[in-house]
Copies of this chain bind each other. A is one copy, B any other.
């Protein structure tokens, strides 16, 4: 083949060699096979049917392979491909691969069942992933943008930021504090409830306190938030229960979402995903608003870490 684009030159040929029966369609191949079948010879029909019946399998075969599988010859395979509207077998094969991919992706089972004790690993991974993705979508959908903006505003102009979280939420709290620190804000995460309260009473108007609790009822987190609230700090609650006790002391409430929980997958686990998304949104919001400071700070912290990596880099 002399570069396959020579075939269809778009410019009118002297004598139309072929009416150009059909453009190589992507998906509706089975239909094409059916309409063309009557005008095909026996061998060609075998090829066409095989191909329509198992696109994925056939896509993996070479001309020779397909010829063998259909008990025909290479020439016949090529002829069939031509008849179906492709320049040659190569292109039919490409279309086949596409079709297979479509079919595969369309057959998304969208598992929603609980993870159970005897699920195989592949199932676990699929379900878990599906759950997390769902949680993210839910969270994003339920996020109150106004509250988010307001929270970002408060953080940006804060003199000092305290973040409270215990248990699983403590990691999220640390994550937020760590990130804010990296772009030059004074942020600290408190896991110890006593220290948290001790620090909370230091906060003043203009400072910000963030409480992260899925249940909305974690006293270890509510107490410091209340202390901060009482001392005039702006308070933000990141919680899965917008009606929880914690919101009583929160100027801004950011609601996180929860996936179904099961025995093997406690609520704490899925709430984390949701909380992290909210926290990331906060962070990026702040980074945007303090871009002048944040950008160099981000670079600086990257540079500072470089020597902690082994030297060999490409």
Contact = CB atoms under 8 A, between A and B. Distances in A.
A220 interface: yes
Contacts of A106: 105, 107
Interface residues of A, number: 84
Interface stretch (A8-16, A121-129, A200-208): A121-129
A214 B243 CA distance: 38
Number of copies: 2
Contacts of A107: 102, 105-106
Nearest to A281: B125
Interface string A281-297: 10011011001001100
A226 to B, nearest CB: 11
Interface stretch (A76-84, A131-139, A155-163): A131-139
Interface of A: 26-27, 38-41, 59, 93-95, 97-102, 104-107, 115, 117-119, 121-122, 124-126, 128-129, 132-133, 136-137, 139-140, 143, 145, 148-149, 152, 166-168, 171, 174-175, 178-179, 215, 217-220, 222, 245, 263-266, 269, 272-273, 276-277, 280-281, 284-285, 287-288, 291, 294-295, 298, 302, 305, 308-310, 312-314
